[in-house]
Structure 1
Amino acid sequence: MKNNSALNNSMDSTCMVADEICIPDSKFPRIVVIGGGFAGLALVEKLRHQKLQVVLFDKNNFHQFQPLLYQVATSALEPDSIVFPFRKQFNGYKNVVFRLVEVEEIQPSSNVIITNKGNVNYDYLVLATGTSTNFFGLDKIAQNSLGMKDIRDSLNIRHMMLQNLEQAAITCNDEERDALTNFVIVGGGPAGVEMAGALAEFRKYILPKDYPEYPSSIMNIYLIEAIDELLSTMSDKASSKTLKYLENLNVNVLLNESVSDYDGAQVITKSGKSILAKNLIWTAGVKGQFPKGIDEKHVVRGNRIKTDSNLKVEGYENIFAIGDIAAIITEETPKGHPQVAQAAIQQGKYLGNSILNIIKDKPIKPFQYSDKGSLATVGKRKAVADLGQFKFAGYFAWLLWSIVHLMSISGFRNRLMVGFNWAVSYFTYEKSNRVIIRNFKNNNTIVKPKASNLETISKNNN
């Protein structure tokens, strides 16, 4: 065994230690990427094997495929089938370094990043930290509901759902049973629509087999959207077709409605409706998340960072932002580009080329987003697609959605696992992952309406 002196000498010869974080020494420019989502991962992939040192910081040690989080939440997929370890992803990338840390602050004046494990210097910094659930200042709702932004949220939803269904089989209190089996989804975008469709299929195909103690009709699903249409970023055809699909699945869609309060057991809407529900899933909005250190004057609506057309953060020469937190504000994009995976991936690849050109002192072209279309599924054999001038729905749209998502998952094994699960589900309507592997704490109690002008939605009037 080496003595401490020999070990220290060996480390000094291979590493440059900066306040406890060991980063291999390199003669090449160091690019630090914060966040390994779609944008950050695309950038790292673009810069692999280049004469650069690429350092990825992330609070997780894996990339997660967020478009399928709802399938983990509804027991269709196991969590490890949509996550992929960074170290496995970067195997063989000699210029890429991964460190499991949480970045707390950036000090642009000294090109230093402060993390919970120490400090690191950078030559170029790329913020790809993504978004978190936006509850719009509704603290009680934030405290008592669940978002769906990462794999832990999905597992919490799954365990909450299964535990509540089990408790509903135990209780003899009708009001308690109603609350335990009511599901409210807030937000009519792709995540909310897909979650509602998956829950409706769970109710139709799984509930009668697993819970013969009560009829499947006891499980009510509500989808609440603040404006007058679903999937507002897609075509009118996609919106109307989605509404029809959900209504055919007996989902209660409430348009032009919003949630004003939720105590964990009772949902109160802006118009005065009351829904007893111990399951509330919030998909109504997101906001950018990034460490301290960026001047607030460069932060725009949605807590996004304003950049120029080259994705450089305004006011800084060597800091860039990509993905959901980046906002290129122009006449064509007054709200920035859409916060979707394809935009993030394109920005990651673009910035990779741009950084190489900057280092070589070559000119760079402005970022141009190429919209390849939008897809959303509403259950088996039901989906909508907007591909340029082509707008269609039904089985072919669902097949296209399945192929695109399957091919986008990282790792052959993960694609195989997801494809196999989908094939089994297609022919058997089975969801095999209905296990409670850890308890989800839910101490909510039923609170009856306090005001007589509240319109209570119950099992009897649906």
Structure 2
Amino acid sequence: MLHIKELTLNIPETTKPRVVIIGGGFGGVNLVRKLPSKDFQVVLFDRQNYHGFWPLLYQVATAGLEPDSIAEPLRKMFDEDYEDFHFRQVKVTGVNPATKTVTTLVGDLPYDFLVIATGTKSNYFGNEQIKKFSFPLKQIPDALNLRSQMLQAFEQANMIKDPEVRQSLLNFVIVGGGPTGVELAGALAEMRKHILPGDYPGLDFSQMNILLVEGLDRVLPPMSPKSSQTTREYLEKAGIIVKLNTLVESYDGQTVVFKGGETIKTQTLIWAAGVSGAQIQGLPPEASERGRYLVNPFNQVIGFPDIFAIGDVAAMKTEKWPKGHPGVAQPAIQQGQHLAKNLGRMIRKESLVPFEYFDKGSLAIIGRNRAVADLPKDMHLKGFLAWAAWLFVHIYYLIGFRNKLVVLANWVYKFFTFENGNRLIIRPFIRKEDVAGQEFVRRQADLD
């Protein structure tokens, strides 16, 4: 393999304004789509070579979908129609506003406009033990790790004699009662009811416990109290143990300790409890707050008129959104599209138009025919209508016709058969024994 210093960014010189975008998520992708190649040279940096549809990541983790059905290669998305577009799969290590350059592992690149669209990363609130032993769910490798861990747990539980160890293999603790935690818990409950008893007839799945742990007083805190209450009822009806006003103090790979002293043995703790902005080194501390860049109504980072932040990493405070827009796909999509128009206005020396977020509502699914929806004009749906709306919205916003077709076919098949067809352990999650017990062995890339 080539040494890093033998590599180069290999970006051609240009007389057009160069827009450098860090991050190929919803914000970055929609910005690229709307920026005209005739006016700009566009350079996109990302550590992975694909755009992922993260709202469906939990279905990859629970063997409902394969990873390539929720991801699209970035180079395929921006082909010959984007003649002055350049993608480089590389990690950005810093930004220098004084010299207007971006630093990567393989070299520096000057910019005229810089857009930070890096999204979020898991926030462990400084607890290194939980970071080491828990399973995050932010990227496709996370989902595959979790899938392998869960399937391996069932395989081991099917063979083990010790009832205490077997129970620890059948206890699944999900920390975080937001959309990711709720939807993952619902998917696991459906597997427990419809799929796993057929795969493992020798196991008593009435002993499989799914715990959903939330530090606040209700699940789905970003949604309406009405939807939160309905969701809790759905979860409990599905046999999920919901623990509210509960914080996790520690986890050593074997035992979860809750604040207050309660414990539970488990070999699978899933961390969906919080995120923070994936910030880039180089901007001063006063440009950010709580892990997000402070931006004005034009998405310019405060104090830096040629640096922009969009999506989850941006905090645009308004009267309606005093803490910034919610960390979901729609703000990122809309900000990306809006910023493309404003960049055009900037090079034409026109006045910029402030961003206004159109809240299309929030959705969460708990299982078959069980979902909740908060829609504009204070409309609330639940049950089949909300479930159908969730299906439609997620198919609509998937990128790529093939992905839409594959996901729809999987869902139709599952609806009639109650079957997940992807229960393959294709990347075993390895453990090793040490003096303290069982310790996770992970590549460092999976921890960063």
TM-score by length of 1: 0.91
Task: Work out which of the residue numbers 359, 375, 379 in structure 2 matches 1:371.
Answer: 359
Deviation (angstroms), 1:19: 8.3
The one-letter amino acid of 1:114's match is T
C-alpha contact (below 8 Å) 1:57/1:103 kept by paired residues: yes
Q: Which residue of 2 aligns with 1:390?
A: 379
Task: Work out which of the residue numbers 115, 127, 138 in structure 1 matches 2:116.
Answer: 127
Does the residue aligned with 1:32 lie in a helix, a strand or coil?
strand
Give the Cα–Cα distance (whole angstroms) in 2 for the partners of residues 69 and 261 of structure 1. Answer: 26
Q: Is residue 2:21 matched to residue 1:33? A: yes
Q: Which residue of 1 aligns with 2:247?
A: 258
Give the Cα–Cα distance (whole angstroms) in 1 for the partners of residues 365 and 287 of structure 2. Answer: 36
The one-letter amino acid of 1:314's match is I
Does the residue aligned with 1:41 lie in a helix, a strand or coil?
helix
CA shift digits 1:190-224 (9 cap, x unpaired): 00000000000011111110011111112110000
Give the Cα–Cα distance (whole angstroms) in 1 for the partners of residues 293 and 435 of structure 2. Answer: 42
The one-letter amino acid of 1:105's match is G
Q: Which residue of 2 aligns with 1:424?
A: 413
Give the Cα–Cα distance (whole angstroms) in 2 for the partners of residues 444 and 54 of structure 1. Answer: 49
Give the Cα–Cα distance (whole angstroms) in 1 for the partners of residues 199 and 312 of structure 2. Answer: 40
Q: Which residue of 2 aligns with 1:82?
A: 70
Does the residue aligned with 1:21 lie in a helix, a strand or coil?
coil
Does the residue aligned with 1:221 lie in a helix, a strand or coil?
strand
Deviation (angstroms), 1:381: 1.1
Q: Which residue of 2 aligns with 1:293?
A: 282
**CA 19–249 in structure 1, closer or farther in 2 if over 3 Å, else same:** closer
Task: Work out which of the residue numbers 133, 141, 160 in structure 2 matches 1:171.
Answer: 160
Q: Which residue of 2 aligns with 1:208?
A: 197
Q: Which residue of 1 aligns with 2:334?
A: 346
Does the residue aligned with 2:389 lie in a helix, a strand or coil?
helix
Q: Which residue of 1 aligns with 2:137?
A: 148
CA shift digits 1:232-276 (9 cap, x unpaired): 111111101100111111000001111111111111111221111
CA shift digits 1:353-406 (9 cap, x unpaired): 111001100011211111110000001111000102210100011011001001
The one-letter amino acid of 1:200's match is A
Does the residue aligned with 2:193 lie in a helix, a strand or coil?
helix
Give the Cα–Cα distance (whole angstroms) in 1 for the partners of residues 102 and 23 of structure 2. Answer: 13
Give the Cα–Cα distance (whole angstroms) in 2 for the partners of residues 416 and 96 of structure 1. Answer: 28
C-alpha contact (below 8 Å) 2:174/2:270 kept by paired residues: yes
Q: Which residue of 2 aligns with 1:400?
A: 389
The one-letter amino acid of 1:313's match is V
CA shift digits 1:282-329 (9 cap, x unpaired): 11110011221011111101x101111111011112100001000012
C-alpha contact (below 8 Å) 1:64/1:82 kept by paired residues: yes
**CA 322–432 in structure 1, closer or farther in 2 if over 3 Å, else same:** same
Deviation (angstroms), 1:446: 12
The one-letter amino acid of 2:193's match is K
Deviation (angstroms), 1:133: 0.4
C-alpha contact (below 8 Å) 2:145/2:427 kept by paired residues: no
The one-letter amino acid of 1:29's match is P
Does the residue aligned with 2:10 lie in a helix, a strand or coil?
strand
C-alpha contact (below 8 Å) 2:176/2:271 kept by paired residues: yes
C-alpha contact (below 8 Å) 1:265/1:444 kept by paired residues: no
Give the Cα–Cα distance (whole angstroms) in 2 for the partners of residues 399 and 135 of structure 1. Answer: 34
C-alpha contact (below 8 Å) 1:406/1:415 kept by paired residues: yes
Identity %: 48
C-alpha contact (below 8 Å) 1:260/1:269 kept by paired residues: yes
Give the Cα–Cα distance (whole angstroms) in 1 for the partners of residues 389 and 434 of structure 2. Answer: 43
The one-letter amino acid of 1:311's match is N
Q: Is residue 2:275 matched to residue 1:307? A: no
Task: Work out which of the residue numbers 218, 231, 254 in structure 1 matches 2:207.
Answer: 218
Does the residue aligned with 1:280 lie in a helix, a strand or coil?
strand
Q: Which residue of 2 aligns with 1:248?
A: 237
CA shift digits 1:386-444 (9 cap, x unpaired): 10221010001101100100111111011111000000000000000000012112347
Task: Work out which of the residue numbers 178, 183, 187 in structure 2 matches 1:194.
Answer: 183
Deviation (angstroms), 1:447: 8.5
Task: Work out which of the residue numbers 39, 48, 56 in structure 2 matches 1:68.
Answer: 56
The one-letter amino acid of 1:30's match is R
Q: Which residue of 2 aligns with 1:14?
A: none
C-alpha contact (below 8 Å) 1:245/1:378 kept by paired residues: yes
Give the Cα–Cα distance (whole angstroms) in 1 for the partners of residues 336 and 363 of structure 2. Answer: 21
C-alpha contact (below 8 Å) 1:266/1:447 kept by paired residues: no
* Structure 2: runs of 5+ lacking an equivalent: 1-5, 438-448
Q: Is residue 2:44 matched to residue 1:45? A: no
The one-letter amino acid of 1:59's match is R
Q: Which residue of 1 aligns with 2:446?
A: none
Give the Cα–Cα distance (whole angstroms) in 2 for the partners of residues 24 and 207 of structure 1. Answer: 54
Give the Cα–Cα distance (whole angstroms) in 2 for the partners of residues 154 and 234 of structure 1. Answer: 25
Deviation (angstroms), 1:83: 0.6
Give the Cα–Cα distance (whole angstroms) in 2 for the partners of residues 360 and 343 of structure 1. Answer: 26
After the TM superposition, list the runs of 4 or more consecutive aligned residues in structure 1 that deviate by more than 6 angstroms.
Answer: 444-448
Q: Which residue of 1 aligns with 2:170?
A: 181
Moved more, 173-182 or 435-444: 435-444
Give the Cα–Cα distance (whole angstroms) in 1 for the partners of residues 395 and 434 of structure 2. Answer: 41
Q: Which residue of 1 aligns with 2:442?
A: none
Q: Which residue of 2 aligns with 1:6?
A: none
Q: Is residue 2:268 matched to residue 1:279? A: yes
If you compute each CA radius of gyration, which structure gives the higher value, 1 or 2?
1
C-alpha RMSD over aligned residues: 1.6
Does the residue aligned with 2:202 lie in a helix, a strand or coil?
coil
Q: Is residue 2:344 matched to residue 1:356? A: yes
* Structure 1: runs of 5+ lacking an equivalent: 1-17, 449-462
Give the Cα–Cα distance (whole angstroms) in 2 for the partners of residues 47 and 240 of structure 1. Answer: 43
